[in-house]
Amino acid sequence: MRILLIGDYSNVHATLLKGLREFGHDVVLASDGDGWKNYPRDVDLKRPSLGKFSSLLYYGKLWRTFRKFRNYDVVQIINAVFLPLKAERIYPFYRYLRRHNKKVFMGAFGMDHYYVKTGLDGHTFRYSDFNFGPQLRQNPDNTAWVRDWLVGEKGRLNQYVAADCDGIIAGLYEYYVSYVATYADKLKFIPFPIQLSEKKAIDIHDKVRFFIGIQKERSAYKGTDIMFEALSRLANDYPELVEVVKVESVPFKQYVKLLSGSDVLLDQLYSYTPAMNALAAMAQGIAIVGGGEPENYEILGDKDLFPIVNVLPNEADVYEKLKALIQDKSSLIQRRKDSYTYIERYHDYRKVAAAYLDFWNRREYKFASNCLDRVLL
């Protein structure tokens, strides 16, 4: 098949591309590299600046590029907002893809209208980026997400694309649950694709090496501020047993290089599930502290492999779970081995690519035009 992937989050499409190409398909990835992370792509959609003249040049360049995006068997966009443009300017690009290609699919891989709406309902998730039970989390990030995705133009675009596209793929439990009530008939959960590192013998450093990556502007939102607070206290209490590697907002290739050789990665605090950075670490046999709630294993159908150190969203619980790791190194070694096995079983990029191909090939269903009326209600 001829396959076009547009946009990328956390290397999802770049990794999926490798699996699809190994099956012999003709695949093109067009993206802006996900900003400063600079993920690999075939066609660069990076926007040079937000200046008026530069934006006009960029808009023209986009149209010249999109005129080549025709006659693909499958187009998959990473999100409804798949270009670095205001949402209202994306409609004509989406409609062009729809008109000139056989099928168009949308990823549910990150922030969008349905995830915000579900997080704000106060009962679907025990905790999330948006809630602790019925109590809503208040921070500048969430205020912006609600403004843009729940009631703003991004949300309207998301609802339009979700109703119109041929199918929706959710990469995590949280995203699947957010869509299933509305789009169960065109929704598929497929785990994120990960390329495994060469399997190596697992050993632990004399000092357990903890790795934490921080995006300064999103530290409170992701919970890495609380994670780092607990880790710093542990290092202060047990300096002879703990080594801390902290990195801030580095490109993906540098991040992977710095991560190598770690024993434990501290991931996001408010998630039920491990996302791409955590999964990439597990593929190196690194243990994860973060989201590993029962729902994560249930959606995978797992009944015997639970490698993630699940933490509740508070500093005390994180501290106690970290302390347990340094006090039982044999258990930590087993978690690291199980982490690698977990990726082999559920996230190997070739298995994931095969699941995508199966879903794309089976999706002949198209919504009738009146389905679009739902987005206006």
DSSP state of 375: G
Whole-number pLDDT of residue 366: 44
The answer to whether residue 202 is domain-embedded is no
Indicate if 262 and 333 belong to the same structural domain. Answer: yes
The whole-angstrom separation of Cα 343 and Cα 52 is: 45
Shared-domain flag, residues 27 and 153:
yes
Residue 60: give the domain boundaries. 2-193+350-376
d(C-alpha 93, C-alpha 176), whole Å: 26
Of 53, 42, 110, the closest CA to residue 81 belongs to: 110
What is the Cα–Cα distance from 361 to 131, expressed in whole angstroms? 37
Contact call for residues 271 and 289 (beta carbons, < 8 A)? no
Which residue has 């403004």 as its token pair?
A: 147
| Euclidean distance between CA atoms 318 and 227, whole angstroms | 7
Compute the distance between CA of residue 161 and CA of residue 371 in angstroms, rounded to an integer.
11
Neighbour count for residue 107 (Cβ, 10 Å): 26
Sign for the pseudo-dihedral over CA of 170, 176, 179, 180: positive
CA distance 91 to 66: 13
Here the CATH number for the domain that contains residue 129 is 3.40.50
Q: Which of 274, 222, 269 is nearest to 248 (CA)?
A: 222
Please check whether residue 331 lies inside any domain of the structure. yes
Task: Say what the pLDDT of residue 217 is.
Answer: 67
**Phi, psi dihedrals of residue 67, rounded to the nearest 5°:** -65, -20
- One domain, residues 224 and 213: yes
198 located within any domain: no
In a domain, 367, yes or no: yes
Number of domains making up the chain = 2
Indicate if 29 and 126 belong to the same structural domain: yes
> Same domain for 286 and 311?
yes
Tell me if 43 sits within 8 A of 49, measured CB to CB.
no
One-letter amino acid for residue 288 of the chain: I
Dist CA 61 CA 28 (whole Å): 18
Tokens of 274: 């491990």
Assess whether 108 and 139 both reside in one domain. Answer: yes
pTM: 0.91
CA distance 281 to 336: 10
Report if residue 199 sits inside a domain.
Answer: no
Do 288 and 314 have their domain in common? yes
Q: Are residues 214 and 263 in the same domain?
A: yes
For the chain, give the longest Cα–Cα distance.
66
Question: What's the pLDDT at 375?
Answer: 44
**Residues of the chain predicted below pLDDT 70:** 217, 364-377
Q: Where does 165-251 have alpha helices with state H?
A: 173-183, 219-222, 224-237
- Copy the structure tokens of residue 230: 């607990």
C-alpha dist (Å) from residue 304 to 132, 293, 297, 301, 345 = 29, 14, 9, 10, 12
254 and 114 within one domain: no
Residue 23 in any domain: the answer is yes
Which residues lie below 8 Å from residue 107, measured CB to CB, with a gap of 6+?
A: 9, 12, 76, 77, 78, 79, 168, 169, 171
Q: Is residue 313 part of a domain?
A: yes
CATH number at residue 301: 3.40.50.2000
- Is the same domain home to 148 and 76? yes
CA distance 274 to 276: 7
- 232 vs 212: CA distance, rounded Å: 11
Beta bridge partners of 168: 106, 187
Asked if residue 203 belongs to a domain, the reply is: no
Q: Residues 338, 234: one domain? A: yes
DSSP H/E element including 205: none
Assess whether 32 and 56 both reside in one domain.
yes
> What angle do helix axes 224-237 and 315-327 make, rounded to 10 degrees?
50
**Residue 258 CB-density burial (10 A; 0-12 exposed, 13-18 middle, 19+ buried):** middle
**pLDDT (0 to 100) of residue 364:** 58
pLDDT of residue 357: 98
